Amino acid sequence: MYSDIKNHNIALYNLVFRPKKVYNNRNPFERRDIYLRKIRENMDRDREEKTAAFNSITLDRLEEHLFFFHKMFDIVRLVNPVNKTVIDYRNGNTDEIDEICYDYWKRGEICDNCISVRAYLANKFFMKLEQTGEAIMVVTAIPLEGTHKPAVLELLKNATDMMMIGNGIYSEGRMVRNLIADLNELIVKDDLTGVYNRRYVNERLPGDIAKAAMEKVHITVIFVDIDNLKEINDTYGHVNGDKAIVNVADAILQSIRTDRDWVARYGGDEFLISLYNATKEDAYKVIERIRSRIAELEPEGEPSVTVSLGIYTMQDTLLTAQELIELADQKLYEAKQSGKNQTAD
């Protein structure tokens, strides 16, 4: 399948960029636009074909087509996108093994743009480009039905020799890898602040909760709300309002452990912080640092900013991501009801 797409794309390239008479009167930009449009059409058609083929995948159907998948793809595996583990499938039975799914990429951390958890949540297949070493991989994630635990089929294909950038086909170089990193980051990052976005919360928090449950450690969620953002926007303009949002985001980033904690912009003036293996007491220390950093980052002559915060720690009772978010949000509501610049736990 992929070799057919590659050959067809090369033919399109030769047709458009090494034109016959029909293209002689077109300038290079017009030829480029034609080429890119055709490539997009090919990708859309390929996606439609895969959607039809993978509309309803069950373990029985997977077993029937396993040999076919191994012929088409370099790696075929089942993963639990919530626990981030690889699933062993034999004789109709599934067992999670002691292998972390993201270890394959050799980066030592969870993938920011995890399409497997997205496929599981949306119940449809997703594709992305990823890199490992010098190889560029096309990753397809397809949710499975009828399993007692979350299960997603991952199909990985080495596409290094098929990448087309600029005026030719390149099998190596930093340009493609940097582009992939930028695209994957763009999907889960907030444009204004550079912190993660709400999509990332939905995809990352369930995995953190599962990991915390298995390791028997605490996980604490903090909701942060800018108290007077509307007043700043109305009085000083939206440019200053945006500055206030960015300053709060920077203050949070400077106050958490970047190797295990993370922050996302949850709404216009709200942020969600996830603190891994952190108690309520640890959370209060983070809050003290956040308030101090906000004061330090506040430029002279600009409106002062205060925040209200709600804290909830998962410790003795297991909670879903949605339950943990709702409980922390309820604490934020209590803090707002008590007045500005308050914290509730």
The 10s digit of each residue's pLDDT in 51-72 is: 444 445 777 777 777 787 888 8
* Confidence label for 236 from pLDDT (cuts 50, 70 and 90): confident
What are the pLDDT digits (tens) for 214-235?
788 999 999 999 998 989 899 8
Q: Please report the pLDDT score of residue 25 as a whole number.
A: 57
pLDDT tens digits for 156-179?
Answer: 988 776 554 444 444 444 556 676
pLDDT of residue 325: 95
pLDDT score of 11 more than 50: no
Active-site residue (options: 227, 261, 269, 329): 269
- What are the structural domains of the chain? 54-188 (3.30.450), 198-344 (3.30.70.270)
Q: Region 35-63: what's the mean pLDDT?
A: 61
pTM above 0.85, yes or no: no
| 3-state SS track over the chain | CHHHHHHHHHHHHHHHHCCCHHHCCCCHHHHHHHHHHHHHHHHHHHHHHHHHHCCCEEHHHHHHHHHHHHHHCCEEEEEECCCCEEEEEECCEEEEEEEEHHHHHCCCCCCCCCHHHHHHHHCCCEEEEEEECCEEEEEEEEEEECCCCCCEEEEEEECHHHCEECCEECCCCHHHHHHHHHHHHHHHECCCCCCECHHHHHHHHHHHHHHHHHHCCCEEEEEEEECCHHHHHHHHCHHHHHHHHHHHHHHHHCCCCCCCCEEEECCCCEEEEEEECCCHHHHHHHHHHHHHHHHHHCCCCCCCCCEEEEEEEECCCCCCHHHHHHHHHHHHHHHHHCCCCCEEC
Work out the average pLDDT over 6-13: 46
269 belongs to the catalytic site: yes
pLDDT (0 to 100) of residue 34: 64
Q: Residue 62 has what pLDDT?
A: 77
- pLDDT reported for residue 48: 55
State mean pLDDT over 105-124: 88
pLDDT by residue (tens digit) across 67-102? 878 888 899 999 999 989 998 877 667 777 788 999
Average pLDDT, the chain: 80
Q: Is the pLDDT of residue 50 over 90?
A: no
Q: How confident is the model at residue 255 (pLDDT cuts 50, 70, 90)?
A: very high
